[in-house]
Structure 1
Amino acid sequence: MPEASTPFASFLMGGFECSSHRRRDRTRLDLIAATQHDRFARQDYDRLRARGILTARDGLRWHLIETRPGSYDFSSFLPMLRASREAGVQVIWDLMHYGWPDDTDPFAPGFTARAAAFAGAVARLLAAEGETAPWLVPVNEISFLAWAGGEVGYMNPWREGEGHLLKRRLVQASLAMMDAVWAELPAARFLHTEPLIHVVPHPQRPADAPNAAAFNRGQFEAWDMLAGTLHPELGGHPRYLGLLGVNYYGQNQWVHHDSPAERELLPPGHPWRRPLDEMLQEVWQRYGRPLCIAETGAEGDARVPWLRSVGEEVRRAMSAGAPVQGLCFYPILDYPGWDDDRHCPTGLWGYADDAGHRPEYPPLAEELAAQAQAFAAL
């Protein structure tokens, strides 16, 4: 299903949950292993291709690859890379999806150099495997990681009140990682993924308006730093900005409250909710760069209506001129929840049995096919 308007093998993509951070209780998550995607990568990619989805998002697990500083063991990654190639599926690889080796973190001395060395080693491996122009995400969701790990201590590195500093450190690492990759693979391309949000103050709490506005501004800070328009001393430049990936879920619009647990989500149809097509237009007008929906999805019976709604709004944005170049349903496999390991039925396919068979959720398969036709017609 190639599209003239996209640099990807297909407009619709499937994303594999690849978070590898340590949560608040210090337990290491490895969602690639938990979903057995590492074990059944070839079958998973074959399933995508059979559904006409020729592009995927997936990730490397840095903590498994660099178990000793400067020593790289790619045995956890190479089979997945080769499986994707054998299946004929293009993959956008995340280099750092919330996790890093235990002996470092973004506040540690030398972290930027360490991240760059890791990225360079990955690039050399890709080059040796014949990948001349890969798509890579240096650091997934800098803004969310800065908030979760630097502002409220929800995940590693478990800091509080240091979100902006963590954001700067992650941007520095991302810039160095891109330079290291380009030194080995000058044709490499980068996708920068960030949450797309809309936050409003409650009319009965007008004092919350400045904080709500700060959240809305903050969603753009990582991209602004990468482009060099904010904190230019970090070394950002427009050449680093690449393609912008917006991650958008049902919980991405809310009524501000100083306590995150007290936030009131704005469900579809709420009068305070902002249309997604307007939000996409804002990103396009602000940066003048092509963009894609890098993550979107829902759980249970909400999967189909959510995808249908997002597809309609994306097409409205495209018809109005926004160069949206892809839409990734994420995650494409059910997974165990971050905090409690509960079964989260979010995917097109469920948990694998011992032979790698995964039950399919037919309503979502039908809706993905309908969305493919709608985007092809557009």
Structure 2
Amino acid sequence: MTSVPARSELSRLVAPDAFWWATGIEDTFITEPWPSTGRILDEYELTGHYERWREDLDLVASLGVKTVRYGVPWHRIEPERGRWDWRFCDEALGRLLDLGVDPIVDLVHYGLPRWLDGAYLDPAYPERVSEYAARLAERFQGRILWYTPLNEPRITAWYCGRLGWWPPFRRGWPGFIAVMIALAKGIVRTCQALQAVDPQIVPVHVDATDLYETQDPALADEVELRQEIVFLALDLVSGRVGREHRLRAWLLENGARESDLDWFEENAIDLPFIGMNLYPMFTHKRLRREAGGRLRIRQPYASGDLVARLGRLYHARYGAPLFVSETASLGSVAKRQRWMDDSLASVRVLRSEGVPLVGYTWWPMFDMVAWAYRQGSREPAEYFIRMGLWDLDPVTLERTATPLADSYRSYVKGGISAVGPLSAIADASGERLHVS
């Protein structure tokens, strides 16, 4: 039995001395080739992780972390409908457990097996994804208790349904909403299936956070709409999109059905943990209107207090324990180090205010390949994004430690002293809750 806290022990993770440190390996899987290039986007393949997984997992353990966000490739586990190949999954997850590192298993990270006709809009998707989740949970019953049903549902719906770059290649807000409703039903069914296997399993809901602002009063309604969309996936699966919800009329105007929204209220699930994915170069959004009337969204590089601002926002809305499930800065080692220091200082501020932020994840552990690779023509190394604790050699893919690895290792070794104890917790109404 590993040290993963069971559902009945969640209060332990919001105790004053509770905090977990984590890392992760970028695991985007887009299995549909881009028409003009024939390329797919499998980060494990492009970074050599399928061949170097033992070495990479040893690097995870070398940081001293006891938790890792780790994705498994459904498209390889079930390459054809009903044909299962668990070798990579069994070996990699088994190795993490042997190393004393508890995985938060990323079940779906954007991409799906190609045999799903219409991807998320395949009518059988909720049943197929929940079956896959249950089979995996059965293999590791009693040993792995943390699962992320689907990483970043809003970004998934954006690329699959709004931009049309990923299957099922829908465009516009109706496409976004259709994909969002489908994948959210899959999240609900996955959580139900996981806990049917083992009621002690804790679903960890992870989404991309955005903070929208404007200096133009005429754009206030647009900012409010965009900010509400940030919360849409969590609101749907937890049954919050009732008759008075800010987005309900907008959803219905863009193709959602009353029966869909009612279904989520009838099948609402808990949000035991919420993971916030945030990046200083992507997460802060400022809206303005150009002279010609076009809406423009800028992404200014954020200061470290971004973590505190978002943490307060999510806690006020959901009152659930939070953790930073992805963060890193793009750029030089010095720039990455500044973000690590500043973001962790912001974590300390939140905890001193009683906001139950109970974990921090530096992601990715080493370079990832930019998503533009799938649509591009250059060599993979030319798409490397320097965000990790280790850099990749562009030719050999050797992992080269930067000073950041030692810096993060020191933070991890410092434990609770790096982020401070959690003060008496304030619930969403402002009442102070004391935990033992």
The normalised TM-score by structure 1 is 0.88
Superposed displacement of residue 365, structure 1: 2.5
Q: Which amino acid in 1 is paired with 2:23?
A: G
Change (3 A) 1:189 1:258: farther
**What's the counterpart of residue 60 of structure 2?**
48
Alignment partners' CA distance in 2, 1:40 and 1:59: 15
Instruction: Choose 1 or 2 for highest CA Rg.
Output: 2
Counterparts in 2 of 1:259-298, with a 5 A limit?
262-268=296-302, 275-298=306-329
Q: Does 1:167 find its partner at 2:177?
A: no
Superposed displacement of residue 76, structure 1: 2.7
Alignment partners' CA distance in 2, 1:296 and 1:143: 17
1:113 to 98, 109, 127: 127
Change (3 A) 1:257 1:159: farther
**What's the counterpart of residue 343 of structure 1?**
384
Q: Does 1:325 find its partner at 2:358?
A: yes
Q: Percent identity?
A: 24
SS at match of 2:167: coil
Q: Which amino acid in 1 is paired with 2:102?
A: Q
Alignment partners' CA distance in 2, 1:159 and 1:258: 26
SS at match of 2:301: coil
8 Å CA contact 1:191, 1:245 repeated in 2? yes
Q: Which amino acid in 2 is paired with 1:107?
A: L
Change (3 A) 1:353 1:221: closer
The normalised TM-score by structure 2 is 0.77
Q: Which amino acid in 2 is paired with 1:276?
A: V
**Once structures 1 and 2 are overlaid, which stretch shifts more, 253-262 or 364-373?**
253-262
Alignment partners' CA distance in 2, 1:226 and 1:308: 34
Alignment partners' CA distance in 1, 2:126 and 2:51: 31
Mark the runs of 5 or more structure 2 residues left unpaired by the alignment.
Answer: 6-11, 242-260, 374-379, 421-436
Alignment partners' CA distance in 2, 1:58 and 1:236: 31
Q: Which amino acid in 1 is paired with 2:150?
A: V
Superposed displacement of residue 300, structure 1: 2.5
Q: Which amino acid in 2 is paired with 1:358?
A: R
**What's the counterpart of residue 189 of structure 1?**
202
Q: Does 1:246 find its partner at 2:276?
A: yes
Mark the runs of 5 or more structure 1 residues left unpaired by the alignment.
Answer: none
Alignment partners' CA distance in 1, 2:54 and 2:140: 18
Alignment partners' CA distance in 2, 1:257 and 1:151: 21
Q: Does 1:227 find its partner at 2:241?
A: no
User: Runs of 4+ in structure 1 displaced over 6 angstroms?
Assistant: 6-10, 258-261, 352-356
Alignment partners' CA distance in 1, 2:126 and 2:409: 40
Alignment partners' CA distance in 2, 1:326 and 1:237: 28
SS at match of 1:106: helix
**What's the counterpart of residue 11 of structure 1?**
20
SS at match of 1:102: coil
SS at match of 1:178: helix
Change (3 A) 1:45 1:376: farther
1:180 to 180, 193, 197: 193
Superposed displacement of residue 172, structure 1: 0.2
Alignment partners' CA distance in 2, 1:213 and 1:78: 44
Alignment partners' CA distance in 2, 1:24 and 1:255: 33
CA shift digits 1:269-290 (9 cap, x unpaired): 5xxx974313201211211110
SS at match of 2:401: coil
Superposed displacement of residue 124, structure 1: 1.7
SS at match of 2:205: strand
Alignment partners' CA distance in 1, 2:199 and 2:414: 35
Q: Which amino acid in 2 is paired with 1:283?
A: Y
Change (3 A) 1:225 1:258: farther
Change (3 A) 1:76 1:287: same
Counterparts in 2 of 1:66-77, with a 5 A limit?
66-77=78-89
8 Å CA contact 1:24, 1:155 repeated in 2? no
Alignment partners' CA distance in 2, 1:194 and 1:172: 16
SS at match of 2:371: coil
